[in-house]
Structure 1
Amino acid sequence: MSLKVLIVEDEMIIARFIEYQLTSLYPGLDLHIALSVDDVDLYMEQNSPDLVLCDIQLNDRMDGIELMERYTATKFFSLVFITSYQSKNSIDRAAALNPENYIIKPLGENRLYAGTHMIIQRLQQQREKNRAIEKLKTLTPAELHILKLIALRHTTKFIADTLFLSPYTIKNTRHRICRKLNLNEENNALLSWAIEHQHILKFL
């Protein structure tokens, strides 16, 4: 499942610019544009975004801060305000919602990248970690133990000798683990996966 990003911006040209830049930088994001408060309400009824980029100055019945105040109380998402407002009052009001960043217009490619890159990168890493953990939950304790030994680059023979099992049993276990993790059994895919996710394995 892709990261869900909601762009709240009442000027279509700016909204499309943000959409284009994020699509170019991070292919695969699930992007949605909301041009009004009603659009946001409709989206929030059906979705839980991972990240919201919200303009403060909306030509609507409430501004972006009031709108986000409504949803930060009931939904969990990362928030970035994008606005031409630079007054202390606006910044203080926005800060009360604990946004992860505050990007000042006029909006350019570099400014948008600087204001969103670390956030999106962290969200993507967390999503990948969650996926890996869900896959690891399908393993039995014995399979998980063998996977940890594989992550340490131990050979099938070494693992078999250590666990007092036959190499044939270890090979069969490796096959089962590959199936559960949806891995190709060729080109040391299991070893590569185990090493890549070693930081997760050591806590399980």
Structure 2
Amino acid sequence: MRILIIEDEIIIARFIEQQLKANFNCEVTIALNHREVKRAIPSFIPHLILCDINLHEENDGINLIQELQKEYAFGVIYITSYQSKSIIERALTTRPLNYIIKPVDESNIFAGIKLVESAISSHTTFGMRKLMKPTFNHIESKIIYLILQKKNTKEIATLLFLSPYTIKNYRHRICRKLSLKDENNALLKWALQNEDLID
């Protein structure tokens, strides 16, 4: 798991990094400001971002996360001293996995990440650039829609009046378009997580 810490106080950032490396199997990178985030993220592409909200810059951590979410898929946990209802509601628009209140210690960092670790590892698109809306032909679109309805290859073949072998070929082609491993449920997971991209 690749974790990016966005925190403008280096002592806090190093403490969080130390706790992560001691308790989780992960690679960690620290960014102290927007400029460092923009420099680090294209090559690091994190599965999880731990982000302070107050970065002492014009744009805060919530705005930065909103900007990054346009191009990258990742989970986010805010680590902040902000506890006001309005800030929390703004943070919720980015669908964070957790919200940890400062001051941080070993136990709340461990619990905050351990509670969402399985959600991060099961999310097939975390740690990837977001795909632009993929282009599918008519039959591919129908197949993806039926996969989303939890239909298996045989059922899809019957509904589309095609052979199961043909459907398997289409599924393989769709997986290649999406850079997915051609394995059981990979396409279903993708469809469930990207329902908004499916016509």
Q: Which amino acid letter does the alignment assign opposite residue 111 of structure 1?
A: N
Q: Which amino acid letter does the alignment assign opposite residue 56 of structure 1?
A: I
Matched, 1:6 2:7: no
Q: Please state whether the residue corresponding to 1:93 is helix, strand or coil.
A: helix
TM-score by length of 2: 0.59
User: Within 1, Cα distance between the matches of 2:7 and 2:17?
Assistant: 11
Q: Write out aligned runs for 1:3-42 (5 A).
A: 3-27=1-25, 29-42=26-39
Deviations 1:143-170 (A, max 9, x none): xxxxxxxxxxxxxxxxxxxxxxxxxxxx
Q: What is the aligned partner in structure 2 of residue 101 from structure 1?
A: 98
User: Within 2, Cα distance between the matches of 1:9 and 1:26?
Assistant: 19
| Count of residues in Structure 1 that have an aligned counterpart in Structure 2 | 127
Q: Write out aligned runs for 1:24-173 (5 A).
A: 24-27=22-25, 29-124=26-121
Q: Which amino acid letter does the alignment assign opposite residue 45 of structure 1?
A: P
Q: How many angstroms does 1:118 deviate by?
A: 2.4
Q: Please state whether the residue corresponding to 2:73 is helix, strand or coil.
A: coil
Q: How many angstroms does 1:126 deviate by?
A: 6.2
User: Within 1, Cα distance between the matches of 2:52 and 2:60?
Assistant: 8
Q: How many angstroms does 1:124 deviate by?
A: 4.0
**Amino-acid identity (%):** 40
User: Within 2, Cα distance between the matches of 1:25 and 1:70?
Assistant: 30
TM-score by length of 1: 0.58
Q: How many angstroms does 1:125 deviate by?
A: 5.9
Q: Please state whether the residue corresponding to 1:85 is helix, strand or coil.
A: coil
Which runs of no fewer than 5 residues in structure 1 stay unpaired? 128-198
Q: How many angstroms does 1:109 deviate by?
A: 0.8
User: Within 2, Cα distance between the matches of 1:36 and 1:122?
Assistant: 27
Q: Structure 1 residue runs of 4+, over 6 Å off?
A: none
Q: Please state whether the residue corresponding to 1:98 is helix, strand or coil.
A: coil
Q: Please state whether the residue corresponding to 1:6 is helix, strand or coil.
A: strand
Which runs of no fewer than 5 residues in structure 2 stay unpaired? 125-183, 186-199
* Structure with greater helix share of residues: 1
Structure-2 change in CA distance of 1:125 and 1:99 (3 Å): closer
User: Within 2, Cα distance between the matches of 1:91 and 1:126?
Assistant: 24
Q: Please state whether the residue corresponding to 2:72 is helix, strand or coil.
A: coil
Q: Please state whether the residue corresponding to 1:53 is helix, strand or coil.
A: strand
Superposition RMSD in Å: 2.0
